[in-house]
């Protein structure tokens, strides 16, 4: 089991656009076999921070997810909504310690 | 319901010390009434990143947690294990969007 925290910092006037663009991604990802959960959170103190917290059965399941059409079509489109480049987005892949 | 992601970056030679010091904190926190879950993760690509992912019934439950003896006694002791000051630790408090 692995957990992913992917923290996007969105331009102030693009928050709703970001939310709208990921709805389909979220719904389709949740139907993927290896997905345990896939949730989008908003920082309570800074609405520009939108973070996916995800749980996957395995690294392979996550890799498959990143190859799906809904991922490939949606994620690149998010870049122009961010205050940073896509490769600067803070993504951590975690293993449970305790 | 709120989620907390608290990301600590630990000195390379202090990782096991950090893990040992938080075991008691984790066990006692999980017994707190307002706690839904409280888990410690290690980054799969950088073992110096140790991140608590927590879920609380409410902001009040989190506030109470931060006033408990086990929190007050443990967290300050973690500072000398980190590569950063305690107030630079990346802590996000999240609300579920979808």
CATH number of B2-94: 3.30.70.100
Angle at the Cα of A64 from the Cα atoms of A75 and B55, rounded to 5 degrees: 70
- Where are the domains positioned within chain A? 2-95
- According to the model, what pLDDT value does residue A23 have? 97
**Residue B50 sits at the chain A interface (C-beta within 8 Å):** yes
Cβ–Cβ contact B26 with A under 8 A: yes
DSSP structure class, residue B46: -
B40 vs A contacts (CB less than 8 Å): 96-98
Using the Cβ of A66 and the Cβ atoms of chain B, whether some distance falls under 8 Å is answered with no
CATH tag, A2-95: 3.30.70.100
Answer for the pair A22, B63: CB distance below 8 angstroms, yes or no. no
Say what the pLDDT of residue B95 is: 96
Q: How far is CA A86 from CA A18, A50, B65, in A?
A: 14, 14, 35
How far B75 CA lies from chain A's nearest CA (Å)? Answer: 17
**pLDDT class for B18, splitting at 50, 70, 90?**
very high
3-state helix, strand, coil in chain A (%, to 5): 45, 35, 20
Q: What is the ipTM of this complex?
A: 0.93
Q: What percent of chain B has pLDDT over 70?
A: 100
Q: Would you state the pLDDT for residue A22? A: 97
Specify burial of residue A25 (Cβ count, 10 A radius: 0-12, 13-18, 19+). Answer: buried
Q: Are A26 and A78 in contact, with CB atoms under 8 Å apart?
A: no
Give mean pLDDT, residues A64-87. 95
Confidence of residue B61 (pLDDT cuts 50, 70, 90): very high
Averaged pLDDT for residues A4-16: 98
């Amino acid at each position: 089991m692995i957990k992913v925290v992917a923290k996007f910092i969105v331009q102030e006037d693009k928050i709703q656009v970001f939310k709208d663009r990921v709805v389909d991604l979220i719904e389709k990802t949740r139907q993927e076999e290896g997905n345990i959960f896939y949730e989008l959170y908003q920082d309570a103190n800074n609405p520009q921070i939108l973070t996916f917290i995800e749980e996957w059965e395995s690294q392979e399941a996550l890799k498959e997810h990143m190859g799906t059409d809904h991922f490939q079509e949606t994620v690149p489109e998010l870049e122009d909504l961010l205050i940073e480049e896509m490769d600067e987005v803070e993504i951590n892949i975690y293993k449970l310690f305790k």
